[in-house]
Amino acid sequence: MHRHLSQHYGKIAIGATLLATSVYVAMVGITLAHLEFVSGQVPFDMRPFGYGPSDAATLLDALGADGRAYYLSRQIPLDTLYPALLALTLSSTICWFGRRMPNRRLVHLGVAFAVGSALFDYIENLGIVAMIYGWPDLSGSLVYATSTVTIAKSVITTLAVMLTLATGFIWARLPKADAVA
């Protein structure tokens, strides 16, 4: 099965990239932009360095009931699709480029970071949903935990992208005579 799947990594990578990019553009250009416009605050999803309880309270208060409902009904559903699509994009790209690499450790590490990035994004989403549902009784512990997950997600995603780029760079430098069809 692995051999059969490996013949399709390129197609999977391209298809997943198109889907992930479409969802990302919709989030950044529509839902996250709307949340920022309504509140005058940067949404949780776009704070790679985290936030504290006062930041979270300011955002949730400024969103108002309609903005919080929009976060739950528009942003969270899109951000439920995006992590899996990004992980599939990164993983399939790494596997596609990594097929010819003699040492597969970089490939395994890249795939692990891609999957880890998605898992942390889902945990972040659960924290955001819990903060919205719990409003106005905002737990400082919940905010700090969600913020920590946001930071971890940002770091892990950055590492996954860097490993994908490194795999592509190594692949481009491998001798073409060894190319696998």
pTM here is 0.92
Task: Show the tokens assigned to 159.
Answer: 């590492």
pLDDT score, position 2: 60
Q: Is residue 181 scored above 70 in pLDDT?
A: no
| Of 71, 76, 68, the residue nearest 136 (C-alpha) | 68
Q: Kindly indicate the confidence band of residue 79, based on its pLDDT and cuts at 50, 70 and 90.
A: very high
Long-range contacts of 24-32 (CB under 8 A, 24+ apart): 24/82, 24/86, 26/78, 27/75, 27/78, 27/79, 27/82, 30/74, 31/70, 31/74, 31/75, 31/78, 32/75
Q: What angle, 0 to 180 degrees and rounded to 10, lies between the N-to-C axes of helices 76-98 and 140-173?
A: 30
Q: Kindly indicate the confidence band of residue 180, based on its pLDDT and cuts at 50, 70 and 90.
A: low
* Mean model confidence pLDDT for the chain: 94
- The number of C-alpha atoms within 13 Å of 95 and in the hemisphere containing its C-beta is 23
**pLDDT (tens digit per residue) in 120-179:** 999 999 999 999 999 999 999 999 999 999 999 999 999 999 999 999 999 999 887 545
The answer to whether 101 and 167 have CB atoms below 8 angstroms apart is yes
**pLDDT (tens digit per residue) in 94-108:** 999 998 888 899 999
- DSSP annotation of 180 reads -
Counting beta carbons within 10 angstroms of the beta carbon of residue 74, is it exposed (0 to 12), middle (13 to 18) or buried (19 or more)? middle
Q: Is residue 66 scored above 60 in pLDDT?
A: yes
Q: Please report which residue ranges of the chain form alpha helices under DSSP H.
A: 2-6, 9-26, 32-39, 53-70, 76-98, 105-134, 140-173
